[in-house]
């Protein structure tokens, strides 16, 4: 299990390659990559986080996923700081014996990362800067778990 919170970029391909090197236990690997969307003339993004709480919150979310599904491995990388459209923001990867657990655990991680990990996104566009607002859907997405 690996959880990283960093300002530096990461190499999605290399991370997937490393993660996918099975030890014979996993039969399925699911990966998700989140990118900065350059919609509505947005030119850059700034992600703020709460050092200390972020690491604890991610560890808790990962533990909850491992308690629920039998995962042979799990990876979360989440960036903070300045980002541009097209940049990778974050990724998750899950490995399990069967694909259902790997898919479900990856979705679970994503749903909880959205509204339970202390990150805040600020978008800079032609009309100035704006904090991205949480959506009701993000909170509602937790109900299914």
- Note the residues at the interface with other proteins (CB under 8 A): 34, 48, 50, 52-53, 56-57, 78, 89-90, 110, 113-122, 131-134, 138-139
Q: Can you tell me the distance from the alpha carbon of 120 to that of 134, in angstroms, rounded to the nearest whole number?
A: 9
CA dist 38 → 44, 101, 103, 108, 124 (Å): 8, 32, 27, 26, 10
The least distance separating other proteins from the CB of residue 25, rounded to whole angstroms, comes to 28
Q: Nearer to other proteins by C-beta: 12 or 50?
A: 50
Of 28 and 35, which has the nearer Cβ to other proteins?
A: 35
We find the least distance from the C-beta atom of residue 13 to other proteins, in angstroms, to be: 21
CB nearer other proteins, residue 16 or residue 50: 50
CB 45 within 8 A of CB 36: yes
Nearest to 90 by CA among 59, 118, 116, 113: 113
Residue 112 CB, shortest distance to other proteins, in Å, is 9
């Amino acid at each position: 299990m690996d959880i990283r919170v960093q300002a530096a970029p990461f190499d999605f391909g290399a991370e997937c390659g490393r993660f996918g090197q099975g030890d014979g236990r996993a039969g399925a690997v699911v990966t998700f990559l989140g990118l900065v969307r350059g919609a509505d003339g947005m030119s850059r993004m700034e992600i703020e986080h709460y050092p200390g709480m972020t690491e604890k919150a991610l560890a808790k979310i990962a533990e909850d996923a491992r308690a629920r599904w039998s995962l042979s491995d799990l990876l979360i990388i989440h960036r903070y700081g300045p980002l541009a459209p097209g940049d990778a923001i974050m990724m998750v990867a899950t490995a399990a014996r069967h694909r259902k657990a790997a898919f479900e655990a990856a979705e679970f991680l994503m749903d909880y990362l959205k509204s339970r990990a202390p990150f805040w996104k600020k978008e800079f566009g032609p009309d100035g800067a704006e904090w991205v607002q949480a959506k009701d859907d993000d909170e509602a997405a937790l109900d299914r778990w």
